[in-house]
A and B are shown apart, each in its own frame.
Chain A
Amino acid sequence: MSTSAATGGDVVYWDPYRPDLGKDPYPTFKRLREEAPLYYNAEYDFYAVSRFADVEACLGNHETFISGRSDIMEFMREDMEVPKGMFIWEDPPEHTAYRAVVMRVFTPKRMNALEGMIRDYCVRCLDPIAGNDRIDFIADLGGQLPGGVIGMLLGIPDEDRDAVRDQVEASLRTEEGKPMELEQANLTGENYEEYIDWRMKTPSDDLMTELLNTEFKDATGTVRKLTKEEVLIFVMLLAGAGNETTSKLIGWMGKILGEHPDQRREIAADRSLVPAAIEEILRFEPPGPSVARYVAKDVEVLGQVVPAGSVMLNLIASANRDESRFTDPELFNIHRRDPPHMTFGRGIHSCLGMALARVEGRVVMEEILKRFPDWTVDTDNAQLSSSSSTRGWDTMPVFVG
């Protein structure tokens, strides 16, 4: 096992805060898989698994590796109280009961049914810039579409969506080289309170109204409706989890397709390649590169005991490049015939919004390629941000043509 004690030597070192490592973490991940598949970082006191099978096993074992102290390493350190209904940070039976409430909502069939609406929104973003010789995948699209779609689903009025996005982004951003601060995260959902009150009085056919009216069996077995506080938290969670991640997917699309013109032209010529191309972008650069778990009891991992109370980081981005699962994993190849990636997590907490993210990704790729079959990334002006929980572009300007 490696520790940070020997930083100067050639012992592998990694933490999610160093900007130099965040820029291109993949050589380090490769070394972790080879040299320290169970890695311990003494400086920040966390463990990390990096091979596909180990990450899959850890995320599949929700009794030992729990989510009840959040899935963000920094938050685990502080005795954070997770609000009821923030089911991404809860364990069974609460997690099961809450997730069941929205399980039906984000399924493949329902999300595909939204395709037309998503396409309209996308077209509204793209048509005004159709003739431009420069576009920005984030400013023009990634920063707008995902929040807009979630907002439409929930019934949040258009003009307030930007404020919602800005708040979520601020709550998740880390200053370069620094861990996240818990106080940053506004977990009360105050911003949405007005809507809830309004929706209680004026029901509509949106998700917010559905959340207010659906009966479910809670963790104690009582059949009831969600409280107003729980609805607030749900809305926060859905808006938070569905926004920045999907925005980052769109940014990576600009970056990766910009750098692989041959494959981009192939997709433009044959749209049936779009779904596979989305999967390959998701594998190659996952918007959420790692998720953390709290170790609830002593557990043996790769022959070593990881004590109760530890923090375990699951390096999804590394698992996605594990050479024992993927052929030439460091190559971007939309034609690969490997088993699927792990970008949406695994186990009971695997992404609720994956079908939505995929539909959005597909629509965006189609509509972009229709209008802009060729572009080059403006590397000098593209800004990367990287934290323990998200990694992607804040700006992704490109030269069209």
Chain B
Amino acid sequence: MAKITYIARDGETLVLDVERGSTVMRGAVDNALQGIIGDCGGACSCATCHVYVDPQWYDKVGEIGATEEILLEEVCDPQPNSRLGCQITITDDLDGLVVRLPEKQV
């Protein structure tokens, strides 16, 4: 388990216990967090699981894959710390991870 903090645009903050091996996207969706959709279920196809990784954590969440890199240019309001939540797998090292949600996914 890792504690993941999701901060919505309006500042509303939710701290969720997400299982190791799950993802930032799945943790959100399983807990009905509004603001992450994840239509493709983690197949790196839909780009509706966009999050901004807190800069302090950015280097710890793993590499960006080739497909993800392309989709990250195409999300709404991409930023240098943008990632697709389904491509961040939860490990013990990510306990305390903070992500912010974009204004909209689509």
Contacts and interface: CB of A to CB of B under 8 A. Distances in A.
Interface of A: 56, 59-60, 99-100, 103-104, 107-112, 275, 337-340, 344-348, 350-352, 354-355, 358-359
B74 A354 contact: no
Give the secondary structure class of A's interface.
helix
Interface centre among A275, A337, A346 (most CB of B within 10 A): A346
Interface stretch (B35-43, B51-59, B87-95): B35-43
A60 B40 CA distance: 9
Given A348-B45, A354-B46, A109 B76 contact: yes
B40 A347 contact: yes
Given A337-B34, A339-B30, A339-B32, A104 B74 contact: yes
Contacts, number: 80
A354 B71 CA distance: 14
Contact of A109 (B40, B42, B75): B75
A110 B70 CA distance: 13
Interface string B18-46: 00000000000110101001111111011
Given A108-B105, A275-B104, A338-B32, A348 B74 contact: no
Contacts of B39: 340, 344-346, 350-351, 354
A358 B106 contact: yes
10 contacts: A107-B47, A107-B71, A107-B74, A109-B75, A275-B104, A339-B29, A340-B37, A346-B39, A347-B41, A350-B39
A107 B40 CA distance: 13
Contacts of A345: 39-40
B5 interface: no
Nearest to A344: B39
B70 A347 contact: no
A240 B71 CA distance: 24
Interface centre among A104, A107, A358 (most CB of B within 10 A): A107
Given A99-B45, A337-B34, A348-B45, 20 more contacts: A60-B43, A100-B70, A103-B70, A103-B71, A104-B74, A107-B47, A107-B75, A108-B74, A108-B105, A108-B106, A109-B76, A275-B106, A339-B30, A340-B38, A344-B39, A347-B45, A350-B45, A352-B45, A354-B39, A358-B106
Interface centre among A56, A59, A100, A354 (most CB of B within 10 A): A354
A104 B70 contact: yes
A355 B105 CA distance: 9
Q: State which size class the interface on B falls in.
A: 20 to 34
Contacts of A56: 41
Contacts of B71: 103, 107
Contacts of A99: 45
Given A103-B67, A337-B34, A340-B39, A112 B76 contact: yes
Contacts of B38: 340
A110 B48 CA distance: 14
A216 B47 CA distance: 21
A110 B74 contact: yes
B40 A355 contact: no
Contacts of A350: 39-41, 43, 45-46
A282 B31 CA distance: 20
B41 A60 contact: yes
**Residue with the highest number of chain B CB atoms closer than 10 Å, among A59, A350, A351:** A350
A351 B80 CA distance: 27
Top 9 nearest A-B pairs by Cβ distance? A107-B74, A350-B40, A346-B41, A108-B106, A348-B43, A339-B32, A109-B74, A355-B106, A347-B43
A185 to B, nearest CB: 25
A14 B39 CA distance: 27
B67 A100 contact: yes
Nearest to A106: B74
Interface string B67-105: 100110111101000000000000000000000000011
A198 to B, nearest CB: 29
